[in-house]
Amino acid sequence: MQLQGKTVLVTGGTDGIGAQLIRQLRDKGATVITQGRNAKRVVATRDAGFEVVEADLSGLAGVESLLAAVKGRHIDILINNAGAGVDHDFREAAPDLAASDATIFLNLNAPIHLIAGLMPVLKARPEAMIVNVTSGLAIAPRAGGPVYCATKAALRSYSQALRYQLKDTGVHVLEALPPVVETKLTAGRGSKKMAPDECARQIVSAMERGADEANVGMVKLVQLIHSISPALVRKIMMRF
């Protein structure tokens, strides 16, 4: 897909991978609209020249607020990038179920609602794209993050089915599967992390190629091992 001249809506664009995505997309000549929920980061992103909608996508009200803010806009590309992790490890403590519910909504329900809300707009464009950012952990989970992994695995399944549904339309579905990236979400988790700008670069490249999947960095190896032995990759990934 040619990105120049396209209007792109990127969720979670005020930090991490999203902050790099919006800059690289703007450098490609796209008009970028983004969303964030941290007031200070929203202001900083606006100061950098971006159009930002302040909304919390961990609940339905925030999703509806974002959809209302872009109503009437000709969105060509929707990138569902916003996401969060949550502690949910019975070996450590009883989980916070309210936090788990909010994470499930943000990581899974919000993308589904945004896709449904914007589908008429996307289908009306000459060509359009939906990019769902999942994770290498959508392939095989780690023991300490079952809720996060479950939401990403569910969004992976949703993306695959949606791609099949839309194969005869002008709307392409790309799933991006990052490895562990240096963001606030992964603070304290190991030292071998991908830089967010490189992760974003690989996702943008996959968008331009019209790929079905962007297996970023080490996820390429995870996919290869999974193709040979799903049981082996599950055993490996559980330890992380």
Q: Poorest-confidence range of 71-75, 185-189, 214-218?
A: 185-189
pLDDT (0 to 100) of residue 184: 64
Fold of 7-237: Rossmann fold (3.40.50)
pLDDT (0 to 100) of residue 236: 86
Give the Cα separation of 174 and 210 in Å (integer).
8
Domain boundaries, the chain: 7-237
Q: What is the mean pLDDT of residues 12-22?
A: 97
- Between 34 and 234, name the one with better pLDDT: 34
- Between 235 and 208, name the one with better pLDDT: 208
Is the model's pLDDT at 210 over the cut of 70?
yes
CB within 8 A of 141, min separation 6: which ones? 149, 150, 153, 234, 237, 238
Q: Poorest-confidence range of 91-100, 163-172, 217-226?
A: 217-226
**Whole-number mean pLDDT of the chain?**
94
pLDDT (0 to 100) of residue 237: 87
Instruction: Give CA separation, 205 vs 65, 81, 156, 169, 174, in Å.
Output: 30, 16, 20, 22, 11
Catalytic positions, please?
Answer: 148
| 21-58 pLDDT tens trace | 999 999 999 999 999 999 999 999 999 999 999 999 99
